[in-house]
Structure 1
Amino acid sequence: MEHLFASTYGYFRADGREYVITTPFTPRPWGNVISNGDYAMMVSQTGSGYSWRNNAGQNRITRSFQDLIQDNWGKYLYLRDLDSGQYWAATYKPTCHQYDHYQVRHGLGYSSFEQIVQGIHSILTVFVAPDDPVEIFQLTLTNQSDRQRRLDITSYVEWLLGFAPDEHREFHKLFIETTPEPEFHALLARKYLWGFADELGRHNNIDWPYVAFMAVSEPLKSFDGDKESFIGLYSSLEHPQAMQQPTLAGRSGRFGDAIAALQVEITLAPGERRTVVFTLGAALQGSEDPLALIQRYTSVTASDQTLQAVHAFWSRLVDAEHVETPDPALNLMTNYWLKYQAISGRLWGKSAFYQVSAGYGFRDQLQDCQIFLVCDPALAKRQILLHAAQQFVEGDVLHWWFSIRGGGPRTNCSDDLLWLPFVVDSYLQETGDVAILDEMVPYLNGPAEPLYLHCKRAIERAFSRFSPRGIPLMGDHDWNDGLNAVGTQLRGESFWVAEFLYTILERWIPLAQQRSDEAFAERCTAVRTTLRWAMNRYGWDGEWFLQATTDAGLPLGSQQNEEGRIFLMPNIWAVISGITDQQRAWQAMQAVSRYLLCDYGTLLNYPAFTRPRSDIGYVTRYAPGLRENGGVYTHAATWSVWAYALLGDVDHAYEAYRRICPPNRSADIERYKAEPYVTPGNIDGPQSPYFGRGGWTWYTGSAQWLHRVATHWILGIRPQIEGLLIDPLIPATWERFTVRRTFRGAIYEIEVLNPNHVNRGVISLEVDGQPLAGTVIPAFNDGQTHSVRVVLG
């Protein structure tokens, strides 16, 4: 089978649906975040990781502490040869045993670890059931030696059960009780403390409302529920005391340090293969029965069936759209990995190796839900309504909120609230479902109103926060959270928010008119006119646009600045919004190309700050070249592709895309270090000694946006209210590409031919063999498949 983008550490399988890792010694932990929308887990290439239900901060199931170097917290399976006494694990961690073969396959909804040690071939596949709070460890062992082998298999997980991290373990372990269930080959765990207050406001006075469990498909040889007797005092998971004893200690109850260790024994004849299944989960007391879940999933047959269901589950989400282009990196990421990262990691898991989240960011998952628009718009709608309910009647919103019991900071952030009308418009463009605007949604401090009024209140709240010059106030910060000292006195301005609001108003004026809300439409028109004038009058710095002014009136992102002279956001959004004329748009993007478009993507600002500035914020306190301080902040770098494409600058658009498309970094993986199958949050900029190094992978909004700019602005397949627009902007060397995607109840199979090797320009378009004038394909809404043939020239 062909290996795509092969490096020292791994490659994509030819069909693109798996990334194969060939060594545990990757430059950073290369992981997988697996979620069904409720229950989630993460696992690295060494086998480390942890599990949670709904919320990794408030409802962690197994223990883990972030260690960027050792990657040594996990859920492990020990294998022991009972004749020799030798033992190892089904993954590299925790024993770090020498192996004859080691391979990890990260796929959509599962990870598989294959290993050969001392003549025993093992394949451990881990996955989460699509419809229940259960993860499954399917372990298949084959005896490749010429003699009978007696083995035992021992699981090990540490229970956390609630708020993470449980740094004061001496306190938390007092509340956990473990109970063996020999008939079910299982160990249950309960915790009599969650950390929330009770109905009278008394802190630490309610149970954790779940029952955690671990079970195995074979009869128990022994078990243990106590970390001390398993590891041994002053020993380690690499060499635990339990592996020196014939059986486990059998401790349980409330007086140890709670773990789940289950031990089973098997015998394998030469050449014999055997599968053993372990399950782990958390059942909600009163509505879910842990023993029923154990019976449902803890067997070889059930495990096989569930894994097939996992494949079908993810196929439905990723295969509703498929592209084939001459760029294999674009194909891999667009077809599979960006969708999977955005859904499993960002929207559902809400956590990853570098970031443990306890909830939703208002602007964050709202943008991310655009990934659902093609495959399942109902899921995007649900996310939109969920966010709208985190708004106050005054129009502002929670910056983020806890997904369990709610609550979060109410701030003067200037952009959060505006993402609601922005994403609602994206939903309308894709679905045409204007009925969403009449969905009744409550406010945090008021009764329900139609979604339209929620969006209107957000826009009107933004109208109330303008400087005397007609520029929106920065407030606590704008999209760039690190500018958190620029405008806290409500005098500093954000020129980027001016552009963002200008973009939104263009889309909402016709919606207001359609609903006969003429007064609001006229107000939006007037504000939009003012914004355009004020932005070009006060925001233009001679060669590019300013980012902001501080509360003291000092410019930021100006030629006057020694550090932070130019910022990406106001210059690309000047183009995206259309707030300026063509000449200034080109001039601003020339500055972006000159100062910000570097070898590894488009920098967020340049030069980086080397000295902290208390009037700007924590962005100046990062080391220079890292994250928002002179690094490639991938989320914003995707928008540079959009801006270049709007100008018709195909060379820069494609380069800005190609340089941040992860598989392309396989060629210099020692520099990049991050997983080449998911987007990083940031890439070190030129002022870092590690220029080009990727960081903060998985939990980043850049995945959805990299997908969107590829499909909407390079391939040029863009939904509009009136239909599906076809307007590719591609390298002239491309001879053809195809896109299959769903759109409003029909399937469109689009073939784009480029016989004259141009970058842009549709000269003919046929639908089902019939010529169509223009470049917009109507929405058929007929459940049928339609053939579209496009010729560029």
Structure 2
Amino acid sequence: MKHPYGYFNESGTEFHVTNPETPRAFDNFLWNRSLFSNVQQTGVGYCDYQIGDREAVQLLTGNGRVCDFDIFGRDSLMSRLLYIRDNETAEYWNVNWEPVRAPYDHYECIHGMGYTRIETSVKKIGASYRIFVPAGQDPVELWSLTVRNEGETARNLSIFIYNQFQFRYKWGFDSYGDMLFRSSEYRREDNAVVASKHPHVRPHDYLVGFLTSDMPMTAWDGTRSAFVGTYGTLREPKAVVEGHCSNTPGSSDATIGAAQYDILLEPGEERALSLILGVTDHPEHIREVRDRYLGKFEQYFHALQNEKQTMADAFTVQTPDAHLNRMFNYWVKEQAMFGAAWCRWGWNGYRDIVQHGFGVSSIDPNRSREILLEAVQYQYASGLALRGWNPVDTKAYSDSALWLVFTLVHYLRETDDQSILWQSVPFYDGGEATLLVHIERALNFLEEHKGAHGLCLIKYGDWNDSLTAVGKDGRGESVWLTEAYGEALQRMAGLMDHLGDDSKAAEYRSRFENVKTAVNESSWDGAWYVRCFDDEGAAVGSSRCREGKIFSESQAWALIAGIATPERAQVLLDSCVEQLQTPQGFKLLAPTFTQLDDHVGRISSMEPGICENGTIYSHINIWLILGMIRYGRPEEAYDAFCRFTAGYLEGEANHKHLNPPYIYANCYYGPDHKNSAWLMEFAWITGSISWILNVMMNDFLGILPDYDGLLIQPCIPRYWKEYRVVRRFRGAKYQIMVKNPDGQHEGVVSLTVDGKTVKGNKVPLFEDGFHTVIAQLGRYEDNSNVLSGR
């Protein structure tokens, strides 16, 4: 089925949106170390920045929506608007289509790795607009606009550029009066419209926004009221309607950067305009930014593309599934890298940022290392960790520090950088210890804080943020957290084996057996595992509940951790398919909550089909996929992957054409949502991308880094006859061909490396060079060698 809103280019590096009226934003994220920009299919969006490591994420332009669904209306605080006016006819339109929304002869928005380009043709005027954020740490967007005359007569045109500056501190700094401290003006010496905010108390000095260009401005405006008019709108702004800006400065009002350029174009002639949108700490520094970038855009764009290619080269796949190939060769990595850089719009939720470190260990292990060493500084000496930082959130979510285990173990399997284990790092409440001790404290905290059923206490909540009342009195227990703790124990036991600490490895395995027994004896409900027990010992997520009878988290992790017996695994998977599966993936729970339940908490008061209350959560789907793989069910796992991945448009009652096919979302609105069922909620912003990347590469395709080599252990559909993976690992590069002539789904009967037979399923380490690996699937008489690495 052809996507109704666009198409991928042949390589898969770009998605071309051919109809701007998409059902929801088809957006892109562009970023460097100081700034990130959300760019939708019409160029609009928002731009945020943070200078250094100060706890201050600042909104530069846009409407400040952290949700990418337009709950405030698109006309309210739009930015990146490019108008063209024909001065002979007084007709005008947008290069980026909205807000005027004039008919176009051609429209195409090209989202690529680190850039977006919009190509339009209206009334025989062609335009090309490209935006990117250069690598490094300058908080700037670089725009290139080319306008060409495609007609047979000369054209007298005016170009109007519009941005609204916000200067709002997203996480708490809103100075008294806000607009009372704003002003804007034109600096002739820099050819720049400059806006600033100058409160008495401020988080930093980077409160000077500017719009500058290489073409002299004909006129400008610094206040929205002058550009739009007292009663006007951005669809028919006064300046564009009348054909001129008014050179009006801003003062204690809605400060903007609007610029006008008048040009004459002969038939076939084109004119290029370069613009910089940015922020600095003093207007005097705008000149430095102009000198650094103007006239050199292509140089910086080329450097950015080289950086993206290095990212892409970490591994490449060639499988029978073309969509999987382009997603994992480019887009999954791009989304994982954005998460590792900016997490949740700059806010570092503990579990979120640590999971992002887990996700990029094969792409940028140095970033994984940085995340680990930063995150443990926000852990208490007791082993508990904050819920998040930037800003600090001290709510006692019981799972925060647990995620350190998965990231550390995966980082070490990727790098074997044991030095990180012995690095001393402070605790948030004083004192310090090695990273390994931090990890041990996290596990000990969970071990020592259990309830009446022998399960880990949930406290304010666990991964499911909205189970806020289950443990409000301190006695509630989490089945999911206990299962995840069990999986963490097994991974740490494997690390202890590698470090030669037999005693600690045995201790962790003994703890796991206790966890497995506790979950199975207390939490099996007959057809699935309950989700948790409240303070009074009542089960949540049980067949006895009126709503929220079954939660998918505790089913997925019973499989992942190997807690479920094979018989129970079959029963709970059948229950998930029957009660949770939709054409677009598995729901988090069923039935959806419709009435407040004080024993459950916030989740029960949410609107049906939103966030945790009955959405199709990406985390849940990839965790169930991992569980299916652990129990040798690749066809079911692959079916689940295709259901919740946008871009697979075939299938029953498929609604995925409503969503951008090149990214993942935190979830899809559930089928019970009144207005937005099946649409992505919070696209790009999801820690699940880390699991998607690692599960599909390491467990599905079966190319798993280990402490002393690469494990080859596929678990694929039987009808896949072969596939290839090229992967960087510890200074060497490996071309791995997996052959499946007999239609098996796992196992390796032969493995050759550079033409030499290797016993088992592990490729030995090489320090450098390019190495060819051929693995042929078959059946082991003893599958323990295959399963041990999982």
What is the TM-score of this pair, normalised by structure 1? 0.92
Counterpart for residue 118 of structure 2: 113
Tell me, yes or no, if structure 1 residue 18 matches structure 2 residue 6. no
Counterpart for residue 31 of structure 2: 35
Counterpart for residue 385 of structure 1: 373
Counterpart for residue 440 of structure 2: 456
Choose 207-216 or 683-692, whichever is displaced more: 683-692
Please report the RMSD computed on the Cα atoms of aligned residues, expressed in angstroms: 2.5
Q: After the TM superposition, which residues 76-225 of structure 1 pair with which residues of structure 2 at under 5 Å, given as runs?
A: 76-131=81-136, 132-164=138-170, 171-193=177-199, 204=201, 208-225=205-222
SS of structure 2 residue aligned to 1:331:
helix
Tell me, yes or no, if structure 1 residue 330 matches structure 2 residue 324. yes
The one of 254, 257, 270 aligned to 2:254: 257
Distance 1:251 1:280, change over 3 A: same
Q: State the alpha-carbon separation in 2 of the partners of residues 224 and 169 from structure 1.
A: 24
Counterpart for residue 791 of structure 1: 776
Distance 1:165 1:761, change over 3 A: closer
Q: State the alpha-carbon separation in 2 of the partners of residues 435 and 551 from structure 1.
A: 42
Distance 1:166 1:214, change over 3 A: farther
Task: Check whether the contact 1:129–1:310 (CA below 8 A) recurs between aligned residues.
Answer: yes
**What 5-or-longer segments of structure 2 have no aligned partner?**
779-790
Structure 1 residue 284: Cα displacement: 4.3
Task: Check whether the contact 1:193–1:207 (CA below 8 A) recurs between aligned residues.
Answer: no
Amino acid at match of 2:224: K
Q: Deviations over 1:373-415 (max 9, x none)?
A: 122211111111121111122221110111xxxx422222111
Tell me, yes or no, if structure 1 residue 298 matches structure 2 residue 304. no
SS of structure 1 residue aligned to 2:624:
helix
Amino acid at match of 1:323: V
Counterpart for residue 683 of structure 2: 697
Counterpart for residue 197 of structure 1: none
Counterpart for residue 665 of structure 2: 680
Amino acid at match of 2:469: A
SS of structure 2 residue aligned to 1:375:
coil
The one of 408, 419, 428 aligned to 1:435: 419
SS of structure 2 residue aligned to 1:788:
strand
Task: Check whether the contact 1:38–1:348 (CA below 8 A) recurs between aligned residues.
Answer: no
Q: State the alpha-carbon separation in 2 of the partners of residues 241 and 232 from structure 1.
A: 5
Percent identity, please.
Answer: 32
Tell me, yes or no, if structure 1 residue 479 matches structure 2 residue 463. yes
Q: State the alpha-carbon separation in 2 of the partners of residues 585 and 640 from structure 1.
A: 11
Structure 1 residue 145: Cα displacement: 0.7
Distance 1:669 1:289, change over 3 A: farther
Task: Check whether the contact 1:329–1:663 (CA below 8 A) recurs between aligned residues.
Answer: yes
Q: Deviations over 1:224-278 (max 9, x none)?
A: 2122211110111111111244542222364553211122222222111221111
Choose 682-691 or 587-596, whichever is displaced more: 682-691
Distance 1:515 1:342, change over 3 A: closer
Tell me, yes or no, if structure 1 residue 772 matches structure 2 residue 777. no
**What 5-or-longer segments of structure 1 have no aligned partner?**
195-203, 352-356
Q: State the alpha-carbon separation in 1 of the partners of residues 691 and 715 from structure 2.
A: 17
Counterpart for residue 348 of structure 1: 341
Q: State the alpha-carbon separation in 1 of the partners of residues 538 and 141 from structure 2.
A: 54
Q: State the alpha-carbon separation in 2 of the partners of residues 190 and 603 from structure 1.
A: 46
Counterpart for residue 224 of structure 2: 227
Distance 1:660 1:64, change over 3 A: same
Amino acid at match of 1:176: R
Q: State the alpha-carbon separation in 2 of the partners of residues 205 and 646 from structure 1.
A: 52
Distance 1:537 1:164, change over 3 A: closer
Amino acid at match of 2:2: A
Task: Check whether the contact 1:717–1:728 (CA below 8 A) recurs between aligned residues.
Answer: yes
Distance 1:640 1:453, change over 3 A: same
Tell me, yes or no, if structure 1 residue 646 matches structure 2 residue 652. no
Structure 1 residue 350: Cα displacement: 3.9
Task: Check whether the contact 2:85–2:243 (CA below 8 A) recurs between aligned residues.
Answer: no
The one of 40, 44, 53 aligned to 2:40: 44
Counterpart for residue 265 of structure 2: 268
Tell me, yes or no, if structure 1 residue 71 matches structure 2 residue 74. yes
Choose 628-637 or 738-747, whichever is displaced more: 628-637
Task: Check whether the contact 1:160–1:166 (CA below 8 A) recurs between aligned residues.
Answer: no
How many residues align? The count is 766
Structure 1 residue 515: Cα displacement: 6.3
SS of structure 2 residue aligned to 1:373:
coil
Distance 1:594 1:255, change over 3 A: closer
Structure 1 residue 22: Cα displacement: 0.7
SS of structure 2 residue aligned to 1:578:
coil
Q: After the TM superposition, which residues 510-549 of structure 1 pair with which residues of structure 2 at under 5 Å, given as runs?
A: 511-512=495-496, 523-549=507-533
Q: State the alpha-carbon separation in 1 of the partners of residues 500 and 278 from structure 2.
A: 52
Distance 1:29 1:490, change over 3 A: same
The one of 248, 272, 279 aligned to 1:282: 279
SS of structure 2 residue aligned to 1:789:
strand
SS of structure 2 residue aligned to 1:17:
coil
Amino acid at match of 1:488: K
Q: Deviations over 1:177-202 (max 9, x none)?
A: 324222332122322128xxxxxxxx
SS of structure 2 residue aligned to 1:374:
coil
Structure 1 residue 527: Cα displacement: 2.9
Q: After the TM superposition, which residues 543-558 of structure 1 pair with which residues of structure 2 at under 5 Å, given as runs?
A: 543-558=527-542
Q: State the alpha-carbon separation in 1 of the partners of residues 252 and 671 from structure 2.
A: 54
Tell me, yes or no, if structure 1 residue 364 matches structure 2 residue 339. no
SS of structure 2 residue aligned to 1:129:
coil
SS of structure 2 residue aligned to 1:60:
strand
Q: Deviations over 1:612-631 (max 9, x none)?
A: 21110122223344442233
SS of structure 1 residue aligned to 2:360:
helix
Q: Deviations over 1:704-728 (max 9, x none)?
A: 2222221122211111222111111
Distance 1:220 1:625, change over 3 A: closer
Distance 1:147 1:248, change over 3 A: same
Choose 496-505 or 693-702, whichever is displaced more: 693-702
Structure 1 residue 681: Cα displacement: 1.8
Choose 458-467 or 55-64, whichever is displaced more: 55-64
Q: Deviations over 1:287-322 (max 9, x none)?
A: x933211222233xx122222222112112223111
Distance 1:557 1:292, change over 3 A: same
Structure 1 residue 142: Cα displacement: 1.4
Counterpart for residue 788 of structure 2: none
Distance 1:691 1:622, change over 3 A: same
Tell me, yes or no, if structure 1 residue 317 matches structure 2 residue 301. no
Amino acid at match of 1:720: D
Q: Deviations over 1:532-572 (max 9, x none)?
A: 22112112222322211111111122222232222211122
The one of 390, 399, 409 aligned to 2:387: 399
Distance 1:59 1:255, change over 3 A: closer
Distance 1:556 1:385, change over 3 A: same
Q: State the alpha-carbon separation in 2 of the partners of residues 732 and 511 from structure 1.
A: 32
Q: State the alpha-carbon separation in 1 of the partners of residues 656 and 29 from structure 2.
A: 24
Task: Check whether the contact 1:339–1:704 (CA below 8 A) recurs between aligned residues.
Answer: no
Counterpart for residue 544 of structure 2: 560
Task: Check whether the contact 1:329–1:661 (CA below 8 A) recurs between aligned residues.
Answer: no
Q: State the alpha-carbon separation in 2 of the partners of residues 523 and 773 from structure 1.
A: 31
Distance 1:619 1:672, change over 3 A: farther
Task: Check whether the contact 1:330–1:661 (CA below 8 A) recurs between aligned residues.
Answer: no
Q: State the alpha-carbon separation in 1 of the partners of residues 172 and 489 from structure 2.
A: 47
Amino acid at match of 1:745: G
Distance 1:165 1:175, change over 3 A: farther
Distance 1:773 1:285, change over 3 A: farther
